[in-house]
Chains A and B, each alone.
Chain A
Amino acid sequence: QVQLVESGGGVVQPGRSLRLSCAASGFTFSSYGMHWVRQAPGKGLEWVALMWHDGNNKFYADSVKGRFTISRDNSKNTLYLQMNSLRAEDTAVYYCAREYDYDGTRGGAFDIWGQGTVVTVSS
């Protein structure tokens, strides 16, 4: 079935790096824009990054710009998030999500989500 499975979370010290992965199955991964979204403890959802289906465009939230890098390998049906210079405020559950482009013009909706992977930044 259509599925996204995140991995790579863990406990890391401030200033260190971590790479998250999101393995997709059950659909044509290369046809969809893919996002990372996070939720910090006690907070709401925060959009983090987007990569277009073909990898030609990337967008980031201001809070992670210059520190995080989104990438994808369409041959492996996998999305990545390289997180550098981690801060305590990056502590969150990180979700990958598929974008359903329902009208082909502006942004769509996030119709498939992974179960999330927990990142804790602490000394």
Chain B
Amino acid sequence: DIQMTQSPSSLSASVGDRVTITCRASQSISTYLNWYQRKPGKAPNLLIYAASSLQSGVPSRFSGSGSGTDFTLTISSLQPEDLAAYYCQQTYSTPPYTFGQGTTVEIK
């Protein structure tokens, strides 16, 4: 199975800061990488698919990049409503479609 490793596991940043979360796959997954946001008490929400495609309705301050084994989710200007856990997921291989362990974003 493909393993997904996210870093950091948590971070604290101020409103307006640029925030970067990384995700590394244990083998090449081309661009079959998705990012999800999970706010407390809510279902996960798709932010980015195919490594860099912004899902409809998602604010443009979210962006994704990368290919192969290394990927990045960037929030260009952190907002209070971005308090959440963020997960990467690979859908390259035959299932299991593994998730990273998650990154918790806190607002200073």
Contacts and interface: CB of A to CB of B under 8 A. Distances in A.
Interface of A: 35, 37, 39, 44-47, 50, 59-62, 95, 97, 100, 102-103, 106-111, 113-116
22 contacts: A35-B97, A44-B100, A46-B99, A47-B96, A50-B95, A60-B95, A62-B96, A97-B44, A100-B49, A102-B50, A106-B32, A107-B92, A107-B93, A107-B97, A108-B49, A109-B46, A109-B89, A110-B46, A111-B46, A111-B49, A113-B45, A115-B43
Given A59-B94, A103-B50, A114 B43 contact: yes
A102 B56 CA distance: 13
B91 interface: yes
Chain B interface: which size bin?
Answer: 20 to 34
B20 interface: no
B53 A102 contact: yes
Contact of A47 (B32, B43, B94, B97): B97
B36 interface: yes
Majority secondary structure, B binding face: loop
B101 interface: yes
A109 B44 contact: no
Contacts of B102: 44-45
Output the residue of B30, B91, B98, B101 with the most chain A CB within 10 A.
B91
B91 A108 contact: yes
Contacts of B1: 62
Contacts of B39: none
Nearest to A61: B96
Contacts of B87: 44-45
Interface in B4-63: 30, 32, 34, 36, 38, 43-46, 49-50, 53, 55
Nearest to B98: A47
A107 B91 contact: yes
